[in-house]
Structure 1
Amino acid sequence: MGEHHPPPAPEDGVTLSRLVAGAVERELRLRAGRAVIREWQAEHGAFTPEELAVGRADMAAADAEYLSEPGGTVA
């Protein structure tokens, strides 16, 4: 929490508790995803650089598609 971010303005319509809940939800999803990756790699071996590159490209394409949709935002 080294960075200072001002609280949301009332006109944003987002309460501080909603922001915190969203941050917690994101962290829990990241942890779950990392656990799945660890389990998969324990069974199948580490990802190769090529597999990582394909995964990153797929994620970038999915992000670009989502953000191009109406209402798509970075959360």
Structure 2
Amino acid sequence: MAVKKVTVTLPEELVEPLGSAAREDGVPLSRLVASAAESELRRRVGRKVVADWQAEHGAFTLEGLATARAEMAAAEMH
């Protein structure tokens, strides 16, 4: 993957914990930040898929969510 150097500003209270996490994982801080950015982009795609589905089919119901959870749990057992 090609990379591009950019400058970002982070809240001061995040800098040390992020640096510590990167050192703990043995990766550069930039890789840790890139991973967080990728995760955010995946979450956004997921939210869009859910919003599109609900726009077409209606909002999820508690009953429907419970059924889906039960079906997923059963599928994981097999």
TM over 0.5: yes
Match of 1:25 among 28, 32, 38: 38
Cα distance in 1 between the residues matched to 2:30 and 2:18: 14
Q: Of 11, 16, 19, which aligns to 1:7?
A: 19
- Percent sequence identity is 59
In the superposition, the TM-score normalised over structure 2's length comes to 0.58
Structure 1 residues 52 and 6: alpha-carbon distance in aligned structure 2, compared to 1, 3 A threshold: same
Structure with more helix by fraction: 2
Question: Which stretch shifts more, 7-16 or 45-54?
Answer: 7-16
Aligned equivalents of 1:26, 1:6: Cα separation in 2: 16
Residue matched to 2:64: 51
Measure the CA separation in 1 of the matches of 2:24 and 2:47: 36
**Cα shift at 1:7:** 1.2
Mark the CA change 1:42 to 1:11 in structure 2 (over 3 Å): closer, same or farther.
Answer: closer
Structure 1 vs Structure 2 CA RMSD? 2.9
1:30 shift after superposition:
0.2
Kindly state the Cα deviation for residue 53 of structure 1 after the two structures are TM-superposed. 3.0
Q: Tell me the matched-pair count.
A: 60
Q: Report the Cα offset of residue 13 of structure 1.
A: 1.2
Change (3 A) 1:55 1:25: farther
What is the identity, as a one-letter code, of the residue corresponding to 2:55?
A: A
